[in-house]
Amino acid sequence: MKILVLSGSPNKNGTTALLAEQFIRGAEEAGHSIYRFDAAFQEIHPCNACNACQTTDKGCVFKDGMAELYPRLPEADAIVFVAPIYYYGLCAQLKLVIDRFYALGDALHGDKKCLLLMACEDDTLESVAGAITSIKGMAGYLGWEMQGIISALSCADRAAIEKTAYPKQAYELGKNLPIGDGTNW
């Protein structure tokens, strides 16, 4: 299975970086092909609603980091969203990427799996509810099947999350995804 991991964290060694690393380790051990895109380290413009991607054959008017991602999105069998939760919703870096999905139109609709890995300092599910609702709503609209959600609560930093079961859960989630057709990137 081709798995696209979309990470929004600007911290290369932070909480969600660990979740992504462990998920990827498990998925690779299971035989999946992984492509990781770290949105925080790309130049990505926000969608400006010009609609050129829908009214011309030229695609998005911005020629930025999304050019690397656009061909991989339709090819992916599964898309994993990895986001730190700073203030009740998806981090801005990941939200920029999601907003730019618009340029692909119908190409994203169909048979894909979707996962969400999050970490936050707070200890209540209320803090992650907005991100969960957003991803579930998008997945439903696109016809994607939710395969798992990890909400790593009370994880302010790497030291805190390393003392929890969340990294192992991320590993197991990657390890136990069904293989699919076995194609690679």
Distance CA 68, CA 41 (A): 13
185 within some domain: no
Q: Give residue 38's domain range.
A: 2-175
181 within some domain: no
- What's the structural domain count of the chain? 1
For 3-41, b where at least 16 C-beta lie within 10 A, e where not — what string?
bbbbbbbeeeebbbbbbbbbbbbbbeeeebbbbebbbbe
68 within some domain: yes
Q: What is the pLDDT along the chain (185 residues), one digit of tens a residue?
A: 999 999 999 999 999 999 999 999 999 999 999 999 999 999 999 999 999 999 998 899 999 999 999 999 999 999 999 999 999 999 999 999 999 999 998 999 999 999 999 999 999 999 999 999 999 999 999 999 999 999 999 999 999 999 999 999 999 999 998 766 656 76
182 within some domain: no
184 within some domain: no
pTM of this prediction? 0.95
Please report, for the domain that includes residue 114, its CATH number: 3.40.50.360
